[in-house]
């Protein structure tokens, strides 16, 4: 990378947020969370039921030509667990978030905060392209807490959350939409770096729309420290020639 990008778009899961195994006491915590609401299904049973509902919704969407549909997890949970339909909105959102934390353990990927801070200091615009749900926003807030970086550092117009749009990566519309929004800022796709861990969802479809890409891996050669070293190396010239006239 011989020129410094004007904008950086980030995937979330396994890129900004490290995802690992569920907590060892997940089932015990689920019982404490669900039984007061009269929910008797186990975590595994809820997962299987939600999986069937998601599959059915994707099948239905495909009949209307939506190749990469996205569901609303809040809606899926309401259908799977009817007892939630009488829960106030704030309590419902908290329940769904707490449930999500029993399915995996998350933390901020090492080096991510340092890179994001450096971009902010250097005036590089930050955005997000993520297959996500509403609880993802709270997860990102949680892992960024105390780092000096916040979700507000990502430009709202350059942030794509799949649950808000009804379709997901690798749909080319994701990157075409982001490219158009970058254009309104007079920034070209060629002046924008997309960082993501998946070739199918992040790298190949972004490159097809003219974005520069970084295939993120949690290894010394491809992690956030490596991204930062490459983007901000002394030889990386400021990319002023790729602004749209």
Whose tokens are 């006239």? That residue is 245
The confidence band for 123, taking pLDDT boundaries of 50, 70 and 90, is: very high
Contact 129, 60 (CB under 8 A): no
pLDDT per residue as tens digits for the range 200-209: 999 999 999 9
The reported pTM is 0.93
Q: Mark out the alpha helices in the chain (DSSP H runs).
A: 26-34, 43-62, 73-80, 89-100, 112-122, 134-144, 162-165, 172-184, 204-208, 224-231
Backbone angles phi, psi at 178, to 5 degrees: -65, -35
Predicted local distance difference test score (pLDDT) of residue 234: 72
The full set of domain ranges for the chain reads: 3-19+107-238, 26-100
Query: What is the rounded distance in angstroms from the CA atom of residue 134 to the CA atom of residue 112?
Result: 22
pLDDT per residue as tens digits for the range 17-41: 999 999 999 999 999 999 999 999 9
Multiple choice CATH, 3-19+107-238, 3.40.50.2300, 3.20.20.140, 3.40.50.800, 3.40.50.1000: 3.40.50.1000
Taking every pair of Cα atoms in the chain, the longest distance, rounded to a whole number of angstroms, is 62
């Amino acid at each position: 990378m011989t020129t410094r990008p004007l904008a950086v778009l980030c995937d979330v899961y396994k890129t900004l947020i490290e995802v690992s195994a569920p907590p060892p006491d997940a089932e015990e915590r689920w019982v404490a969370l669900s039984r007061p609401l009269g929910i008797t299904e186990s975590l595994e049973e809820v997962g299987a039921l939600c999986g069937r509902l998601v599959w059915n919704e994707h099948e239905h969407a495909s009949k209307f030509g939506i190749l990469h549909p996205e569901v609303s997890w809040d809606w899926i949970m309401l259908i799977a667990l009817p007892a939630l339909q009488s829960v106030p909105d704030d309590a419902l959102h908290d329940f769904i978030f707490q449930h999500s934390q029993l399915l995996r353990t998350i933390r901020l990927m090492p080096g991510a905060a340092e890179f994001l801070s450096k971009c902010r200091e250097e005036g590089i615009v930050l955005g997000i392209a993520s297959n996500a749900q509403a609880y993802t926003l709270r997860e990102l807030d949680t892992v960024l807490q105390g780092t000096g970086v916040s979700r507000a550092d990502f430009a709202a117009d350059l942030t794509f959350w799949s649950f808000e749009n009804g379709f997901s990566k690798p749909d080319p519309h994701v990157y075409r939409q982001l490219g158009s929004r970058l254009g309104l800022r007079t920034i070209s796709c060629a002046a924008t770096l997309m960082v993501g861990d998946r070739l199918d969802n992040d790298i190949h479809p972004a490159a097809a729309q003219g974005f520069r890409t970084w295939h993120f891996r949690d290894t010394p050669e491809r992690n956030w420290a490596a991204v930062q070293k490459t983007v901000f190396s002394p030889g990386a010239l400021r990319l002023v020639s790729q602004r749209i006239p």
